[in-house]
Each structure stands twice: as structure tokens, then as C-alpha cells.
Amino acid sequence: MPAPSTTLRVLAASVIASLTVTGCQALDDAGQALGRADLVNDLAARMDRALEQTWAADYQLAGGRTASIAQTRDPLQSAYSWPDGKIVVTQQALTRCETATGHTSCTVLPPVLTAGRPSVIVYTEIGRHGLVTPPAVIRLLTDAALDPAATIMQSDTTLAGHHATCVDVTRSGDSFTACVTTEGVLGSFTGTLDGKPAEAALSRYTETVDPAAFDVPPGAGVVDRRSPTP
């Protein structure tokens, strides 16, 4: 994940290339107009740049649940943790962990072709567990920017001590709010993803990552399904 995300860059570029901005749909606190394409490009670029950096973040989810994301640039690796599971992506392996009835079991699989970065399939799996991923946010922003009836309002706030740009989007009777920090990390999200309500709020952000973030949970049973090296 620390390396650039081709999916995010292609998506953002296609939006900017295809949009014809006929009016301003966003206003900051000073009342300055901001075009839809500019807004999408700015937030997408922030998140894309963040995928190249080293950082860790904790999130508060709906119902009092928590989740965390950790990634490093060198070596390329990322970890996503939630109350009953964890996924770790490195250049050596893809590790999936699940916790049930008080026991954690992990399966170690061959590395994905994205070499230390989550693939689209992995991002989708992570999203099923209630985590809000950058591709999910960019997809929503893209759909809104391409919708001439959508209303996109921009504002600023502070989350976990970090400045964030927020967008409040309303389209076709649906709405969501997303905030992205100056560092490019998702600050908060409230809306619907894949037909289910989703919430996330940044509670901690640091650019110092504990190496243990990429380990399997203590006491977990581990099954290594990688082919042995000849």
C-alpha cells in the first residue's frame, strides 16, 4: 500500500479528463467557489500521495467498534485490523486472521501481485468488515462529480489534532460526508457503502509505525499455505 495506487490514479485522472464544470458546487468558509473536478482531484491526490508514505491510524467505527491501519514505505507493507480480524499485506505474503469464540487463526498465503500493496480484491474484503477504504471514498466522490444534480459542499475541520477537508454530498436522495486530512488520510466518513450504513472517525494518527503492527495477533494459530521453496 505505501507505493502509488494505479487504480486510484487512473480513476482520478479519468474524472478530471471527462468532467465539464459548468458551475461551482462547493464553497469553503470564505465563500470561495471550488469546482467539482478540482475538489475530486484534490482529495484523490491527497489519498494517493498518502499511499506512498509511512503512517498508522486508529478509527472509531459504528457501535463502539475500533479499527486500525498501518503501513510503511520501506519495506512495502500494510496491515488492517478490526475487532474480529486482521489482514497483513507484505512482499512475502498475504496473511488473513479471524477471531471466533476467543480463538484467533491466521492463514498465510502467497503474496498478491501488487507487491506489498492491497489489491482491489483485498480492499473489497476489508470493506466487508466495516472499514472505509480510500478506493471506496474516491468512487463515491467520482459518482457525485459525474452527477449534474449532485450537491457537493466543502468545509474544514480538525480531527485527532489534524486539519481535514470535508465534503458533504447529496445526490438522488442519498448523502454522505467524508473528510480527508492534509496528510491524505481519511479523517471521517458517514454514509452508505455497498448498501450498508458505514461510519469511521479518526482517533489517532502517527507517522511512527510499530513493527508489531504487521505481526499476527499473539497466541494465534498459523497455517502457512505458501509453497515451500525448492
Residues 106-128 have pLDDT tens digits of 999 988 766 556 677 788 888 88
d(CA 223, CA 34): 51
Residue ranges in the chain assigned as alpha helix (H): 6-18, 36-50, 120-128, 134-145
- Residue 2, pLDDT score: 43
Q: Write out pLDDT tens, residues 21-37.
A: 333 334 443 333 357 66
Beta strand pairing call for 221-224 and 103-109: parallel
Q: Which domains are present in the chain? A: 6-224 (2.50.20.10)
